[in-house]
Amino acid sequence: MSAIAIEPSKTHKGENFPVASKLIAPQHRAAILAYYQFARGADDVVDNGLLSPQQKLDGLDAFEATLLGKSEAVAAAKPLRAILAAQKKLSPRHALDLLRAFRMDAVKHRYANWDELMDYCAHSAAPVGRFVLDVHGESEATWPASDALCSALQVINHLQDCAADYRNLDRVYIPGDALAGAGACIGALAGDKASPQLRACLDGLIAKTATLIEAGAALPPQVRDLRLSLETAVIAKLAQRLNQILRERDPLRDEVHLGKAAALGWACVGVASSLPNILRRLARPAWKAAQ
What pLDDT does 13 receive? Answer: 44
What's the number of domains the chain is made of?
Answer: 2
| 97 and 142 together in one domain | no
| 63 and 120 together in one domain | no
| 177 and 218 together in one domain | yes
Rounded percentage of the chain residues whose pLDDT exceeds 90:
77
User: Is 284 inside a domain boundary?
Assistant: no
User: Is 285 inside a domain boundary?
Assistant: no
| 28 and 83 together in one domain | yes
CATH number at residue 118: 1.10.600.10
User: Is 289 inside a domain boundary?
Assistant: no
Which of 107, 137, 170 represents a domain boundary (last residue)? 107
What pLDDT does 257 receive? Answer: 76
Encode 156-181: b = buried (16+ Cβ within 10 Å), e = exposed.
Answer: bbbbbbbbebbeeeebbbbbeebbee
User: Is 271 inside a domain boundary?
Assistant: yes
| 40 and 7 together in one domain | yes
What pLDDT does 62 receive? Answer: 97
| 141 and 173 together in one domain | yes
pTM comes to 0.86
| 116 and 97 together in one domain | no
Q: Which domain holds residue 178?
A: 108-278
285 φ/ψ sector (left φ>0, alpha ψ -120 to 50, else beta): beta
- Cα end-to-end distance, the chain, whole Å: 51
| 137 and 243 together in one domain | yes
What pLDDT does 281 receive? Answer: 59
Alpha helix stretches (DSSP H) within the chain: 2-5, 26-46, 53-67, 78-86, 93-107, 114-124, 126-135, 143-160, 162-169, 176-181, 196-216, 219-222, 226-248, 260-283, 286-289
| 269 and 165 together in one domain | yes
What pLDDT does 14 receive? Answer: 46
By CB neighbour count within 10 A (0-12 exposed, 13-18 middle, 19+ buried), where does 237 fall?
buried
What pLDDT does 22 receive? Answer: 74
Which amino acid would we find at residue 79? P
Cα torsion at 67, 232, 124, 81 (round to 10°)? 0
Q: What is the spatial distance between Cα 181 and Cα 42, in angstroms, rounded to a whole number?
A: 34
| Structure letter (DSSP) for residue 73 | -
DSSP 3-state of 261? helix
User: Is 69 inside a domain boundary?
Assistant: yes
| 202 and 271 together in one domain | yes
Q: What is the spatial distance between Cα 263 and Cα 43, in angstroms, rounded to a whole number?
A: 24
What pLDDT does 107 receive? Answer: 97
What pLDDT does 115 receive? Answer: 98
Which of 79, 107, 135 represents a domain boundary (last residue)? 107
Helices 26-46, 93-107: axis angle to 10 degrees equals 20
Q: Which of 174, 166, 216, 218 is nearest to 198 (CA)?
A: 174
Q: What is the spatial distance between Cα 244 and Cα 174, in angstroms, rounded to a whole number?
A: 18
Could you report the per-residue pLDDT of 13-45, keeping only the tens digit for each?
444 455 557 789 999 999 999 999 999 999 999
Low-confidence ranges of the chain (pLDDT < 70): 1-20, 258-291
User: Is 18 inside a domain boundary?
Assistant: no
User: Is 201 inside a domain boundary?
Assistant: yes
| 66 and 180 together in one domain | no
| 207 and 151 together in one domain | yes
Which of 107, 128, 157 represents a domain boundary (last residue)? 107
User: Is 291 inside a domain boundary?
Assistant: no
- Counting Cα atoms < 13 Å in the Cβ hemisphere of 132 gives 29
